[in-house]
């Protein structure tokens, strides 16, 4: 529950306008004397055949809109203004948050509904670069958000582990592979021989024929080829899993492209039986003119399958296996056309669950003040970015500890640097709308006073430190409604209004697949809290115990929301830093 939703719900009951429509119309007035929320009544004029000002006057007299005294309601011209009772507001918000603890925001909206989140999906034998990190971080966050809202989430990693390039790799490995190098650093070695293959094939085109034959053998299940492919796949996964572990990411399965390859003939048969396959320049395609899209190729002229056919097989398998209510693909925006085609083929074939499939795209990754020695062509590896961020963070943590005279063990510093450094990287991916390109800059990422993970994590750690001091002083956060009701000052009120929006923000983030709605909410909360902290003392001999305990409860609520929200973004908190 948040207040805007409560107001929308109540107005909806009285006016019969849909709640979400009302929710969108509710404004925050520019001046406090006009209330905390305002509803413009223009929308009702037509259906009620009355002037908006008259409608607002009538509504202002309706008892049920006060929500048991939580609001007072006044009309001002065409507006209906809602004034929150700060005392009730404070007590109610803080109590609800602290009762829920660091899982605050959890809901049962998704009970009994299955949601597939497909994310990460790197290509086997290729380096894991900063672009893959975008889908990994976004997908991990969306999975956590849906999970917290009560959906049954299935996390899928649709590995790029199939296709003609594996024929090339097998060929290259037999010719130039170095077993020790493969064991030491599999992806670098696989990339080396893959690049070499392309160089050599320019001089000797017969290599391409060998590669094709080897891929054919792989498709036919010949043991030697399958064994090599399996080895490349397993070794790549070891490397990827290290990164996933480091970032707290996990999957329910790794059914990649290879998994679906034997399910394609059934797709072809289905499309044939529905008369959807036509021949075009030797290939078998589905025409999508009615969707204003280019044809979707199902079988190439040589009869081999392609990316789109594997995706069709995959989505049919997913529907059958998981009976999903929603099937989310977190994949870069350049693949938007591909997904439109796949979903349209489904639709054309009469599968209405096409409408439950969503492509969640995202922008590009750029760098401002960072230089990486790019081991592999022009791409920046995620591992290098993480290592650099952790090293930089470590410098800052060490410096801060020295200045504040904190004594921290080597182990603690390493642990904090790892969590804060990785948090800083993750946060950069989720702090703006996902369609925007992101620009990495050390200055912004590690700014302990700006919109960054270190700032939010530091705010959390600061509260934890206050809590430890309070405990030593024999103080506990209050849970007494009357005591909490004293938190009515402007500073406390700003914190409470930021806190009270969190639940609705989690739902909004899920609805539009935008974790940044949560990061924005956390930044607002942390900023409001830090002003409160600067203006109101929490502990001290000269402070009344009840005041201290009320403020401690507010601190605790902020810590709970920060921890819950950071978790939803994929970021771990630390107890001090």
Can you tell me which of 79, 89, 329, 516 binds ligand ARG, judged by CB under 6 A? 329
Which of these segments, 115-123, 260-268, 368-376, 396-404, binds ligand ARG (CB under 6 A)?
A: 115-123
Which of these segments, 119-127, 183-191, 285-293, 567-575, binds ligand ARG (CB under 6 A)?
A: 119-127
CA dist., res. 116 & res. 545, Å (int): 50
Number of residues in the chain: 577
Least spacing, CB of residue 398 vs ligand ARG, in Å: 38
Helix (H, G, I), strand (E, B) or coil at 357: strand
Least spacing, CB of residue 142 vs ligand ARG, in Å: 15
Q: Would you count residue 165 as binding ligand ARG (CB under 6 A)?
A: no
CA dist., res. 373 & res. 51, Å (int): 68
Which of these segments, 4-12, 118-126, 393-401, 486-494, binds ligand ARG (CB under 6 A)?
A: 118-126
Least spacing, CB of residue 121 vs ligand ARG, in Å: 4
Residue number of the CB closest to ligand ARG reads 160
Q: Which burial class, exposed, middle or buried, applies to 279 when counting CB atoms under 10 A from its CB (0-12, 13-18, 19+)?
A: exposed
Q: Would you count residue 311 as binding ligand ARG (CB under 6 A)?
A: yes
Q: Which CB, 121 or 393, lies closer to ligand ARG?
A: 121
Q: Which CB, 150 or 160, lies closer to ligand ARG?
A: 160
What is the rounded radius of gyration, in angstroms, for the C-alpha atoms of the chain? Answer: 28
Q: Which CB, 315 or 566, lies closer to ligand ARG?
A: 315
Which of these segments, 10-18, 120-128, 274-282, 483-491, binds ligand ARG (CB under 6 A)?
A: 120-128
Q: Would you count residue 123 as binding ligand ARG (CB under 6 A)?
A: yes
What Cα–Cα distance (Å) separates residue 101 from each residue in 557, 561, 565?
8, 8, 12
- Closest alpha carbon to 380 in 389, 415, 572: 389
Q: How many residues bind to ligand ARG according to rule CB under 6 A?
A: 9
- Closest alpha carbon to 569 in 518, 505, 524, 520: 518
Helix (H, G, I), strand (E, B) or coil at 72: strand
Q: Are 45 and 52 in contact (CB under 8 A)?
A: yes
CA dist., res. 77 & res. 147, Å (int): 44
CA dist., res. 39 & res. 55, Å (int): 11
- Closest alpha carbon to 98 in 420, 467, 451: 467
Can you tell me which of 160, 295, 433, 489 binds ligand ARG, judged by CB under 6 A? 160
Per-residue contact flags (x/-) with ligand ARG for residues 66 to 105, judged by CB under 6 A: ----------------------------------------
Residues 409-438 that bind ligand ARG (CB under 6 A): none
Can you tell me which of 121, 236, 548, 560 binds ligand ARG, judged by CB under 6 A? 121
Which of these segments, 121-129, 259-267, 347-355, 433-441, binds ligand ARG (CB under 6 A)?
A: 121-129
Q: Which CB, 86 or 233, lies closer to ligand ARG?
A: 233
Which of these segments, 114-122, 138-146, 442-450, 549-557, binds ligand ARG (CB under 6 A)?
A: 114-122
Least spacing, CB of residue 378 vs ligand ARG, in Å: 16
Pair of tokens at residue 200: 């050599």
Can you tell me which of 312, 331, 456, 557 binds ligand ARG, judged by CB under 6 A? 331
Close Cβ partners of 196 (under 8 Å, ≥ 6 residues apart): 172, 176
Q: Which residues of 199-236 are buried (b: 16+ CB within 10 A; e: fewer)?
A: ebbeeeeebbebbbebbebbbeeeeebeebbeebbebb
CA dist., res. 262 & res. 219, Å (int): 9
Q: Would you count residue 158 as binding ligand ARG (CB under 6 A)?
A: yes
CA dist., res. 495 & res. 498, Å (int): 5
Least spacing, CB of residue 379 vs ligand ARG, in Å: 12
What Cα–Cα distance (Å) separates residue 295 from each residue in 139, 343, 357?
29, 12, 19
Q: Would you count residue 233 as binding ligand ARG (CB under 6 A)?
A: no
Q: Which residues bind ligand ARG (CB under 6 A)?
A: 118, 121-123, 158, 160, 311, 329, 331
């Amino acid at each position: 529950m948040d207040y805007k939703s409560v107001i929308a719900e109540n107005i909806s009951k009285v006016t019969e306008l849909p709640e979400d429509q009302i929710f969108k119309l509710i404004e925050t007035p520019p001046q406090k004397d006009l209330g905390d929320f305002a509803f413009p009544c223009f929308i009702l004029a037509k259906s009620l055949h009355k002037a908006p000002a008259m409608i607002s006057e009538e509504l202002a007299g309706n008892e049920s809109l006060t929500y048991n005294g939580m609001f007072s309601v006044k009309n001002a011209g065409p507006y209906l203004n809602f004034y929150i009772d700060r005392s009730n507001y404070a007590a109610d918000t803080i109590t609800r948050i602290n009762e829920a603890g660091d899982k605050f925001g959890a809901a049962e909206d998704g009970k009994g509904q299955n949601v597939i989140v497909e994310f990460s999906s790197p290509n086997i034998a290729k380096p894991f670069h900063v672009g893959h990190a975008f889908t990994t971080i976004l997908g991990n966050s969306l999975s956590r958000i849906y999970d917290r809202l009560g959906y049954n989430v299935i996390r899928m990693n649709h590995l790029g582990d199939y296709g003609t390039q594996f024929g090339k790799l097998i060929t290259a490995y037999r010719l130039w592979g170095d077993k020790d190098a493969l064991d030491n650093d599999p992806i670098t070695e696989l990339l080396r021989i893959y690049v070499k293959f392309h160089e050599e094939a320019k001089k000797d085109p017969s290599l391409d024929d060998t590669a094709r034959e080897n891929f054919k053998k792989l498709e036919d299940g010949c043991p030697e080829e399958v064994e090599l492919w399996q080895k490349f796949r397993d070794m790549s996964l070891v490397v990827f899993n290290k990164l996933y572990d480091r970032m707290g990411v996990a999957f329910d399965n790794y059914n990649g492209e290879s998994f679906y390859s034997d399910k394609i003939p059934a797709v072809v048969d289905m499309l044939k039986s529905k008369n959807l396959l036509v021949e075009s320049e030797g290939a078998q395609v589905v025409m999508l003119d009615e969707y204003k899209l280019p044809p979707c190729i199902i079988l190439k002229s040589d009869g081999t399958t392609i990316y789109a056919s594997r995706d069709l097989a995959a989505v049919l398998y997913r529907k059958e296996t998981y009976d999903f209510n929603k099937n989310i693909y977190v994949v870069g925006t350049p693949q938007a056309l591909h997904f439109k085609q796949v979903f349209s083929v489904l639709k054309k074939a009469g599968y209405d669950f096409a409408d439950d499939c969503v492509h969640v795209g995202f922008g590009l990754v750029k760098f401002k003040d960072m230089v990486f020695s790019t081991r592999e062509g022009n791409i920046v590896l995620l591992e290098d970015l993480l290592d650099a961020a952790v090293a930089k963070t470590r410098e800052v943590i060490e410096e801060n500890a020295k200045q504040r005279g904190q004594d921290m063990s080597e182990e603690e510093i390493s642990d904090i640097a790892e969590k804060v450094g990785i948090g800083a990287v993750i946060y950069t991916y989720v702090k703006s709308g996902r369609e925007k390109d992101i620009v990495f800059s050390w200055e912004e990422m590690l700014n302990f006073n700006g919109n960054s993970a270190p700032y939010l994590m530091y705010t959390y750690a600061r509260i934890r430190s206050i809590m430890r001091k309070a405990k030593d002083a024999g103080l506990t956060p209050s849970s007494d409604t009357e005591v909490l009701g004293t938190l009515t000052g402007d500073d406390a009120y700003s914190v409470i209004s930021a806190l009270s929006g969190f639940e609705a923000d989690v739902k909004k983030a899920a609805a539009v697949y935008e974790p940044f709605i949560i990061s924005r909410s956390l930044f607002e909360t942390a900023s409001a809290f830090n002003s409160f902290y600067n203006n109101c003392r929490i502990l001290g001999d000269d402070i009344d115990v009840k005041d201290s305990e009320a403020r401690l409860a507010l601190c605790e609520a902020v810590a709970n929301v920060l921890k819950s929200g950071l978790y939803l973004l994929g970021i771990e908190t630390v107890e001090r830093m």
